[in-house]
Structure 1
């Protein structure tokens, strides 16, 4: 019966990140720097709120777009943090993580043949969703621009078929952040164009050297932008699966239809935990961010000392060093490092063909693990 499977699904490949992570599990003595998951536990007060929701039997369906009080808390959160204004009743949807938020957004705005502009390299979760919608991913090479998708790079790729641009900053895998001026330039470029912007801001609370700015704040951008965020990175709630979409009512009213038939609603228990996160845990990310800064600086300095060329990340928890000087493909480098030194990283080609020649290192791990991994990496490259 496999010949009857949707060809778009058959063509999708398992994420290179997961392939490596699954492989690493067979190496019991390996140090893994692969997964972008905070190593901090979910804050206790959030877990207590989830337990309380269970004890209070709050385990039924919620409204399709989510608990109104949670949407109100989300509205207050992005208003206070980022100066964004959205009506809880009609412009916010609570989703099963940011991934499902992306899914319902793309299914709402794309049709067969629509082009979506993406920065390359990029997290591998976008392209399959675009293709499942019949869209055409169009990559913009950012390798020689500090991994930043700017107006200057975007403009030549915009055609009459361009339906959407995906901005995902802070970036996975590079950790780069767009400046206020770079965002303003993109807003000016799109001012007279009927093109959607999906702004994936899941790492918005993990910016180190500046404040987060959303492109939705710029003149003329709110009405064409869908902001996506969630609690996985900011509150170490990856398994709770809570994300959000923030978009004008004219867009949200259609997205919620897709959401309704997709998952009905996000987990009720997780929503009550999320309500606690966004009310009494507004600054829960701060101690994690301080730890990430120290880890970033340590790993970055070690890599530079080893002779790697790389951009210093301003956010998220990844570094993306070049390995071109070693004359190995990113997969060969990754496998040799794993086999010889038992250190696992992600090959750059997992992040599109524009990631070839790089590796991604996650520093969402304890300093003890990072210190040991850097020692092993130094020993490895010294012999290449």
Structure 2
């Protein structure tokens, strides 16, 4: 059977691919240290688990929910948004989805016509461009340099804009770089987008994972005009160690959210009812455990960053949020005679059983992504192995 043409250009997720490869080698009995996956290494906090168990026992999660999410969860999101963004939204401005990734997918399906363009800063999260293509849109990649902390400017946006530009994506803190846009930078981008009728897609999934006194400013909170021109993407996966529960959400103008909800109703019917009950507790319950996890990630960052920065041929900027390091390793590759970063990553896994993610999937063919959402013990041992790999392969 001949597959659809979209399958000819659709790329698999390099992060999920790398994680699967590491798990397969572990299953063979190898001592693999996987620094690939973008999820906390903690289990979901007990108060959230207990809320889910109680919901199951009550029988209330045995049935379909509204396609766009339960009223109770929408109320929790309204309260959470007021506390964290400073403005109030209504239920019709919210859709709950099966993960933040599906919120993005339904958004692109809702807003894009064939050949519509979405500006995506590089480096980028691996699924942005592929999801745009699945909606028959055209990703337009704009390079953000390490010298500018991997952030794009208004001048770059203006140069990239065409008559087909429909949206821009701002992911702050960023996956994979961990960098945060300042309020001044976001205001400039927001005002440019409003003036040019370009929708802002604000991927705020890491907004609570910030370190060393940094603060993640939300672009949607800067003015009423910018807020109305923004769709917020968020969820419970990263902050609350709930990646497996698959609950994300989007906040935007009612007509966009209605379109997204229509698509979700035909695609998934609704997010899992028990996961929605758990998410209510995550957003409205005690926040102590989430803060303890954040502090642990901060300690890991501060401990491991100087050790990774000291590796031969590694050059990186210290992240301000998320839980990734994104070093440029061109000089390390040169030391071993490598011309392809994915080959370097594969050889590291084969020789030293350390799994990283190739930068090629993020639009950065000289970089690798290292997740520090692993134990300090594993992180420190991984650095030892990476150094050994570089030194023994020097030409």
What range describes the TM-score normalised by the shorter chain of this pair? over 0.9
Distance in 2 (alpha carbons) for counterparts of 1:223 and 1:78 = 15
Distance in 2 (alpha carbons) for counterparts of 1:51 and 1:277 = 14
Query: Shift of the alpha carbon at 1:139?
Result: 0.2
- Indicate yes or no: 2:56 matched with 1:54: yes
- Indicate yes or no: 2:175 matched with 1:172: yes
Distance in 2 (alpha carbons) for counterparts of 1:61 and 1:340 = 49
- Indicate yes or no: 2:390 matched with 1:381: yes
Distance in 2 (alpha carbons) for counterparts of 1:296 and 1:270 = 30
Deviations 1:334-360 (A, max 9, x none): 1221122211111110212xx101111
| TM score, norm. by length of structure 1 | 0.95
Match of 1:160 among 158, 163, 168: 163
Distance in 2 (alpha carbons) for counterparts of 1:244 and 1:25 = 29
Deviations 1:248-298 (A, max 9, x none): 223222222112212121111111111111111345421111011111112
**Partners of 2:191 and 2:226 within 8 A in 1:** no
Distance in 2 (alpha carbons) for counterparts of 1:24 and 1:250 = 43
Gaps of 5+ in 1: none
- 1:206 is paired with a residue whose SS is coil
Match of 2:78 among 75, 80, 88: 75
Gaps of 5+ in 2: none
Distance in 2 (alpha carbons) for counterparts of 1:143 and 1:289 = 27
> Which residue in the other structure is 1:330 paired with?
341
Distance in 2 (alpha carbons) for counterparts of 1:69 and 1:20 = 37
Aligned residues: CA RMSD: 1.4
> Which residue in the other structure is 1:229 paired with?
234
> Which residue in the other structure is 1:216 paired with?
220
- 1:382 is paired with a residue whose SS is helix
Q: Which moved more, 1:66-75 or 1:330-339?
A: 330-339
- 2:92 is paired with a residue whose SS is coil
- 2:310 is paired with a residue whose SS is helix
> Which residue in the other structure is 1:16 paired with?
14
- After the TM superposition, which segments of 4 or more aligned residues of structure 1 sit over 3 Å from their partners? 281-284
**Partners of 2:356 and 2:370 within 8 A in 1:** yes
> Which residue in the other structure is 1:44 paired with?
46
**Partners of 2:193 and 2:200 within 8 A in 1:** no
Match of 2:67 among 64, 69, 72: 64
| TM score, norm. by length of structure 2 | 0.93
> Which residue in the other structure is 1:356 paired with?
365
Distance in 2 (alpha carbons) for counterparts of 1:175 and 1:224 = 25
- 1:236 is paired with a residue whose SS is coil
Match of 2:306 among 301, 307, 312: 301
> Which residue in the other structure is 1:31 paired with?
33
- 2:200 is paired with a residue whose SS is strand
- Indicate yes or no: 2:105 matched with 1:107: no
Deviations 1:280-332 (A, max 9, x none): 13454211110111111122110122242101100000000011112222112
Q: Which moved more, 1:144-153 or 1:189-198?
A: 144-153
**Partners of 1:206 and 1:285 within 8 A in 2:** no
Match of 1:205 among 201, 208, 222: 208
Query: Shift of the alpha carbon at 1:368?
Result: 1.1
**Partners of 2:190 and 2:200 within 8 A in 1:** no
